[in-house]
Amino acid sequence: MPAARVLIIEDDTAIRSVVRAAVEADGGRVFEAATASAGLQLAAAERPDLIVLDLGLPDADGRDVCKRLRAQGPVPILVLSARQQDTEKASLLDSGADDYLTKPFSTLELRARLRAQVRRARMLRGTEHDAPLRTAGLIVDFERRSVRRNDQEIHLTPTEWTLLQALARDAGRTVTHDQLFARVWGREYGDAQKYLRVYIAQLRRKIEGDPLRPVLIVTEPGVGYRFCAPEP
Ligand code: CA
């Protein structure tokens, strides 16, 4: 597998070197930019596999940078944010970021998130987009619309299947309540979070080993849900 090429756009040198160390620890290669304008140029010139973007840049608003990067192509964007509010996170994800980390973060967490995004980018790019997804004893076969856990066929209702598919196709990425609600139910109904709580609980009872300690469908409080990407 070729080394991941990661662009980090961040004005704080200390955080740049933390990200560099994390990427290099997994055999990746790093490009650094300290300003939004330098970052946008590097993104266009180097076509990285993944962009780590700080929201608080000196020359532009991080959200605008995010939109402009998104307009350049489908590269995954991991946002580093100092802000705490969950609504901020949800609106960031809704506006084109693929994942976020709130500062301060641990190196282990950063590496896990980076690996998940690189895997996801490769999954999206590869021709095997519709290949079955295998993780923790679970096999999701998108073409046959079937789910097996420990070699047992699991029967899902159409809504449960659509919800699982919406999460699994974006494995490794947090999908917001609004995004899930739109994908599964359209937007005609009322309270997205209430619907999702009910159906996520149903789904967990069917696919998780221990539904009270879910490892496949993880809750991002106030933001949405994440299907854990399979390890290669
Ligand atoms: Ca900053």
d(CA 2, CA 103): 29
DSSP secondary structure letters along 16-43: HHHHHHHHHHTT-EEEEESSHHHHHHHH
**CATH at 172:** 1.10.10.10
**Model pLDDT, residue 154:** 93
Give the Å distance between the CA of 49 and the centre of ligand 1: 22
21 and 77 in a common domain? yes
pLDDT in tens, 25-35: 988 999 999 99
Confidence of residue 127 (pLDDT cuts 50, 70, 90): very low
How many domains are contained in the chain?
A: 2
Summarised one tens digit per residue, pLDDT across range 52-105 is: 999 889 999 888 898 888 887 778 899 998 866 666 777 778 767 888 888 889
pLDDT value at 179 more than 50: yes
- Residue 163 CB partners (closer than 8 Å, separation 6+): 180, 184, 196, 199, 200, 203
Ligand 1 centroid vs 194 CA: distance in angstroms? 36
Q: CATH no. for residue 121?
A: 3.40.50.2300
Token pair listed for 161: 């299947």
Query: What pLDDT shows up at residue 1?
Result: 45
* Residue given tokens 């190196």 in the structure block: 107
| pLDDT of 183 strictly over 50 | yes
* pLDDT given for residue 116 in this prediction: 83
Query: Are 59 and 172 members of one domain?
Result: no
In the reported structure, the alpha carbon of residue 62 is separated from the centroid of ligand 1 by a whole-number distance in angstroms of 9
Is 60 exceeded by the pLDDT of residue 108?
Answer: yes
The CA distances from residue 66 to 63, 78, 80, in Å, are 5, 10, 11
Highest averaged pLDDT of the listed ranges 6-15, 88-97, 111-120: 6-15
Residue 2 has pLDDT above 80, yes or no: no
Rounded to whole angstroms, the Cα distance separating 220 from 170 reads: 14
Tokens found for residue 68: 């402009």
Average of pLDDT values for 123-143?
A: 73
Domain-located, residue 232: no
| CA of residue 57 to ligand 1 center, whole Å | 5
Q: How far is the CA of 110 from the centre of ligand 1 (A)?
A: 17
Angle at CA of residue 45, ends 40 and 48, nearest 5° = 80
Of residues 97 and 202, more confidence is placed in 202
Question: Where do we find the tokens 């076969």?
Answer: 141
Report CA(35)–ligand 1 centroid distance (Å): 9
Identity of the highest mean pLDDT range in 17-21, 77-81, 191-195 = 17-21
* Of residues 201, 207, 212, the one with CA closest to residue 228: 207
Q: Of 96, 126, 156, at which residue does a domain stop?
A: 126
Cα 8 to middle of ligand 1, angstroms: 12
The proportion of the chain whose per-residue pLDDT surpasses 90, expressed as a percent, equals 38
Measure 11 CA to ligand 1 centroid, in angstroms.
Answer: 5
- Euclidean distance between CA atoms 216 and 200, whole angstroms: 11
Q: Are residues 30 and 82 in the same domain?
A: yes
pTM: 0.64
Domain that residue 120 falls in? 5-126
Boundary-marking domain end, from 126, 142, 177: 126
Q: What is the mean pLDDT of the chain?
A: 85
